[in-house]
Structure 1
Amino acid sequence: MNSANHTNDVIDMIIIGGGPTGMFAGFYAGMRKASALIIDSMPQLGGQLAALYPEKRIYDVAGFPNVTAQELVNRLEQQMNAFSIPVRLEEKVRQVIKEQERQFRVITDRGEYVGRSVIISGGVGAFEPRQLELPEAASFKGKGLHYFIGDLQAFTGQEVVVCGGGDSAVDWSLMLEGVAKKVTLIHRREKFRAHEHSVDKLMKSSVNVLTSMEVRKLDGEGKLNEITIASIRTGEEQALTCDALIINYGFVSSLGPVAEWGLDIQQGSIRVDTRMQTNIPGVFAAGDITTYPGKLKLIAVGFGEAPTAINNAKVYIDPQAKLSPGHSSHMNFG
């Protein structure tokens, strides 16, 4: 999908971020017969889904009882390709400059682009997994200590410990149940942040669930083989055999250069209105990077915000255009 690194053409909508929301935004721009370009710093489309959770199953996307992250990304790419949306991968956006109404200059580390509008769909910005804060943790990274799963089958027959209380930790534990020899889930609190249905499945599974516990020590000669855990309430310790420790404590994220573009930033997110427009007319945002009252950071929400942003960007570009062209079943894909 990568081609030239710069263009003299004026693009209707420059989409910054090639995760699920950005990909769906690209497709929907095609539905509105708007020219679009997707720019992403990653080497592949799909954002965190492709980079960190390719084999993780997702249960809260409409129309899919369950789907792996990579399959969802593949389906989104197939959908987007109906309109041949150009994509620039491994390219970092440095600046977005509004030169006048309906004219934005987007400067990257490899070129410049001119667009009539900009849609920011950069997930949570630059991200990295929250690390296990133990002195010996770094020496075990890749040697039994993991922060995401690339190949589920790599844990076949192992005694696996998963740490965390969100959807990722619960889902990984359930997925590993039929692969690993034994799965233990450790959570520092009594209650889980994961969806209630997933927690119900967890409690009915063979996964050994330990709450109000935390990891205190890692042991092994060249490779992890044992961990020490302790009760948050009493401090009482116990040792667990452990071939693989998977940490799911969330991510540390940074908006990076986005924070310098003159946008209204609130607690690390871009504030948008009901049109998904930022404080800069013509710059829209969608997905986890946005905030507004009642905001939920879910893939399903991003899929709703993307067409809202695109439709309103269409009206910004062409005030005579209809906000909504009608149901997609009435639209022409030709």
Structure 2
Amino acid sequence: MSGPSSNETGGLYDLTIIGGGPAGMYAAFYAGMRDMKVKLIEGKNELGGFLHHYAEKMIWDVGGIPPLRCDGLIERLAEQARTFEPVIVFGQRVDGLETLPGGAYRLRTDTGESHDTKTILVAVGRGITEMTRLNIQGADRYELTNLHYTVQNPESFRDKRVLISGGGNSAVDWANELADVAKQVIVVHRREEFGAMERSVSSMLQVADVRTPYELHGLHGAGDVIGAVSIAHIESGDKEMIEVDAVVVSHGYTRSYGDLLEWGLDIGKHGIHVSDQTATNLPGIFAAGDCASYSNKVKLIAGAFTDAVLAVNSAMSYIDAEAPNMAYVSSHNEKFREMNKQLLHASKAVEMQ
């Protein structure tokens, strides 16, 4: 089961990964450690998945990696994913599944192409996502100016009065980050409790003007620029007008699994139901990352890596019941012997300069 070259797209693959986010990228790497013939299909034209929504955010909670921007993490994961030269197919969205004689699968995509595989790893993250837009009449006319649904460049908010609406991780994280550049950060949330990590909430309470339980009631401005907002108390209905220079709405996302819903997968409110070994209810099909749902789910990037390892090992066992339960760790894995020599040689060459 040697890995395919980068231009080899046909034939029967051991594992086909649907989705190029953290789980899919790490699965491509780990499956290479297991000497599997791997293909990864990504609907967009780049790896990274949902992480691109937070490209400029700092990531602190990946083990062994100092804090780095999310776009930097994407680059490192993409480089690692290509270690064993899996075939990576961009710009195709899987929309059909067919069972072949003998139990293999044929995946069909919206471009009309097909991909044959022994096993499938669904790593589609949050699926097809759409930001939850503000349900206030006329809000759309401000979207090209100072009504934002994500923060692409924190520096653009320097010395501004910024109101953030939302109570999840994204809203709280942006409040903490923008506090360093904005003149004032006001956070409006419908509930007293926030759905973000405790430490982040504690930091936000120190640097932002937090209003709970309130919700955005109206946007007020001249032309297409918001100059003020009105907020309403959830219980009393009392309203207050606040002058602002920018509004960031972080009300989460709606998600859909599109054509995956037609496969017969057991899909619930929180994703595809899988076993503790990431197996779905369909034989030879596994799920990992944000789309996988099980009782002890860890909703971190690090958790996506664990899901990926479990899924690849399960796929390997499905193909060959006599195969080892897992790959040898990298420090003892023969696949890295030559690579280690090259890295050592390059390191010594730098030292001699």
Normalised by the size of structure 2, how large is the TM-score?
Answer: 0.89
Distance 1:64 1:200, change over 3 A: farther
- Counterpart of 2:277 in structure 1 is 275
Is the partner of 1:115 in helix, strand or coil? strand
2 CA distance for matches of 1:121 and 1:152? 30
Give, in angstroms, the shift of residue 299 of structure 1: 2.0
- Counterpart of 2:263 in structure 1 is 261
Match of 2:116 among 114, 117, 121: 114
Counterparts of 1:172-183 in structure 2, within 5 Å, are: 172-183=174-185
Could you give the per-residue CA deviations for residues 107-164 of structure 1, whole angstroms, max 9, x where no partner exists? 0012111111110000121001111111111111122111111222222222111111
1 CA distance for matches of 2:94 and 2:198? 38
2 CA distance for matches of 1:100 and 1:121? 25
Give, in angstroms, the shift of residue 78 of structure 1: 1.6
1 CA distance for matches of 2:220 and 2:312? 52
2 CA distance for matches of 1:90 and 1:225? 41
- Counterpart of 1:129 in structure 2 is 131
Of residues 78-87 and 20-29 in structure 1, the stretch that sits farther from structure 2 once superposed is 78-87
Q: Do the aligned residues in 2 keep the contact of 1:57 with 1:171 (CA within 8 Å)?
A: no
Counterparts of 1:60-209 in structure 2, within 5 Å, are: 60-101=61-102, 103-110=104-111, 111-205=113-207, 207-209=208-210
Counterparts of 1:16-55 in structure 2, within 5 Å, are: 16-50=18-52, 52-55=53-56
Of residues 65-74 and 252-261 in structure 1, the stretch that sits farther from structure 2 once superposed is 65-74
Give, in angstroms, the shift of residue 102 of structure 1: 5.0
2 CA distance for matches of 1:42 and 1:143? 27
Give, in angstroms, the shift of residue 260 of structure 1: 0.5
Q: Do the aligned residues in 1 keep the contact of 2:288 with 2:304 (CA within 8 Å)?
A: yes
- Counterpart of 1:329 in structure 2 is 331
Letter of the structure 2 residue corresponding to residue 71 of structure 1: G
Larger radius of gyration: 2
2 CA distance for matches of 1:144 and 1:243? 7
> What CA RMSD, in Å, does the superposition of the two structures yield over aligned residues?
1.7
Q: Do the aligned residues in 2 keep the contact of 1:7 with 1:112 (CA within 8 Å)?
A: no
Q: Do the aligned residues in 2 keep the contact of 1:101 with 1:282 (CA within 8 Å)?
A: no
2 CA distance for matches of 1:67 and 1:98? 43
Deviation beyond 3 Å, 4+ runs, structure 1: none
Distance 1:122 1:285, change over 3 A: same
1 CA distance for matches of 2:245 and 2:67? 28
Is the partner of 2:242 in helix, strand or coil? strand
Distance 1:10 1:243, change over 3 A: same
Could you give the per-residue CA deviations for residues 198-243 of structure 1, whole angstroms, max 9, x where no partner exists? 11111222x2111111100011122112111111122111111222
Give, in angstroms, the shift of residue 101 of structure 1: 4.5
Q: Do the aligned residues in 2 keep the contact of 1:288 with 1:302 (CA within 8 Å)?
A: yes
Of residues 130-139 and 289-298 in structure 1, the stretch that sits farther from structure 2 once superposed is 289-298
**Count of residues in correspondence between the two structures:** 329
Letter of the structure 2 residue corresponding to residue 125 of structure 1: G
Match of 1:316 among 305, 318, 343: 318
2 CA distance for matches of 1:217 and 1:43? 38
- Counterpart of 2:343 in structure 1 is none
Give, in angstroms, the shift of residue 268 of structure 1: 5.6
Q: Do the aligned residues in 1 keep the contact of 2:20 with 2:49 (CA within 8 Å)?
A: yes
Is the partner of 2:118 in helix, strand or coil? strand
2 CA distance for matches of 1:47 and 1:322? 31
Of residues 282-291 and 259-268 in structure 1, the stretch that sits farther from structure 2 once superposed is 259-268
Could you give the per-residue CA deviations for residues 30-51 of structure 1, whole angstroms, max 9, x where no partner exists? 111112111111232111111x
- Determine whether 1:228 maps to 2:230: yes
Q: Do the aligned residues in 1 keep the contact of 2:270 with 2:293 (CA within 8 Å)?
A: no
Distance 1:265 1:248, change over 3 A: same
Could you give the per-residue CA deviations for residues 265-321 of structure 1, whole angstroms, max 9, x where no partner exists? 222621111221111111111011111223343322111100000011112122221
- Determine whether 1:219 maps to 2:183: no
Q: Do the aligned residues in 2 keep the contact of 1:254 with 1:268 (CA within 8 Å)?
A: no
User: Which runs of 5 or more structure 2 residues have no equivalent in the other structure?
Assistant: 1-5, 339-353
Give percent identity, aligned residues only: 37
